[in-house]
Amino acid sequence: MKNKICLVTGATSGIGYITALELARKGAVVILHGRNEKKLQVTQKQIAKETGNSHIYLLQADFSSLDEVRKAADQVNNDYKQIDVLVNNAGLILGSKRQVSPDGYELTIAINHLSPFAFTKLIFDRIAASDDGRIINVASEAHRAAGPDFEDFNMEQSYSGFKAYGNSKLYNIMFTTELAKRLTDYPNLSTYSLHPGTVATNFSASAGGLTNLVFKLFRPFLTSSEKGAQTSIYLASANEIPARSGSYFINKKPAKVKHKFYTEENNVKLWEVSEMLTGEPFLSDAVKVSG
């Protein structure tokens, strides 16, 4: 990974931290994204100390706000000529009370789907400058519990923390598949989504209540962050990925996406809704050209 520049979102904890650590150990220049400046500085020191790699840089942005996503993208575009690997890893599950982002969107969908969609679009030219650019989206098997509805995308009529999370993770997978389709003019680029396992991280803390309690009780039986990060690290660093761009991975192997909402038509519709809600048209011509 020497001379590769990898950007890992949500690198201050759990799976993202281990992904960043191992990419740094492989010699990559690593940009750590997180929302908390102090945590970022501590993480930077830890990774530099543990790997001996001093090329660890920071990017602070709270992905609940699209303004912050735009500022972070400006910083990336100003500071780097190319990004070889983007790991869209930042994400969370929230509790039983529906919350809204500063832009007016249901907060789980805003953080887990709309922000990575916008961020990927806004730094896309930098990824396209790589001769082997990869966009890796950390999704989840929780997508099976999704119950999405384009008529109620913001979940005003029907909200639960787990359903919002499931929807957001299904959107990560749908985004990846549709992105691969739109990358036909970019043979140098590929994209994958993945499920990391059920991993003992800080992930459930923001959910509070029963979800957090159950997650804490089962913690001793869950996968470690070290194991949970393996598929992200593999997709970011393997010389060749023997699967089609757009594939969904579990345990470093392509896996089937099982949800009736996962259709070509809905993937296109999700893309268009995401463009509209973020105000960021993204590879729109690619579809018009390919019909």
Ligand X SMILES: NC(=O)c1ccc[n+]([C@@H]2O[C@H](COP(=O)([O-])OP(=O)(O)OC[C@H]3O[C@@H](n4cnc5c(N)ncnc54)[C@H](OP(=O)(O)O)[C@@H]3O)[C@@H](O)[C@H]2O)c1
- The reply on whether position 166 binds ligand X by CB under 6 A is no
CB of 85 to ligand X, least distance (A): 16
CB of 163 to ligand X, least distance (A): 14
Residue pair 166/112 in contact (Cβ under 8 Å)? The answer is no
Residue pair 220/209 in contact (Cβ under 8 Å)? The answer is no
Q: Which span sits near ligand X by CB under 6 A: 182-190, 191-199, 246-254, 272-280?
A: 191-199
Q: Which span sits near ligand X by CB under 6 A: 11-19, 155-163, 178-186, 266-274?
A: 11-19
- The reply on whether position 36 binds ligand X by CB under 6 A is yes
Q: Is 192 a catalytic residue?
A: no
Of 105, 165, 171, 262, which is the active-site residue? 165
Residue in 46, 198, 212, 237 binding ligand X, rule: CB under 6 A: 198
Residue in 57, 62, 275, 286 binding ligand X, rule: CB under 6 A: 62
- The reply on whether position 140 binds ligand X by CB under 6 A is yes
- The reply on whether position 105 binds ligand X by CB under 6 A is no
- The reply on whether position 134 binds ligand X by CB under 6 A is no
Reading the block at residue 247, the tokens are 């594939």
* Number of chain residues interacting with ligand X (CB under 6 A): 28
Q: Which span sits near ligand X by CB under 6 A: 13-21, 156-164, 246-254, 281-289?
A: 13-21
Q: Is the dihedral of CA 211, 216, 218, 224 positive or negative?
A: positive
Q: Which is nearer to ligand X, 116 or 246 (CB)?
A: 116
**Dist. CA 179–CA 258, nearest whole Å:** 19
Residue in 44, 51, 53, 89 binding ligand X, rule: CB under 6 A: 89
Q: Which is nearer to ligand X, 137 or 177 (CB)?
A: 137
Binding site for ligand X (CB under 6 A): 10-16, 34-36, 39, 62-64, 89-92, 111, 138, 140, 195-196, 198-199, 201-203
Catalytic residue set:
165
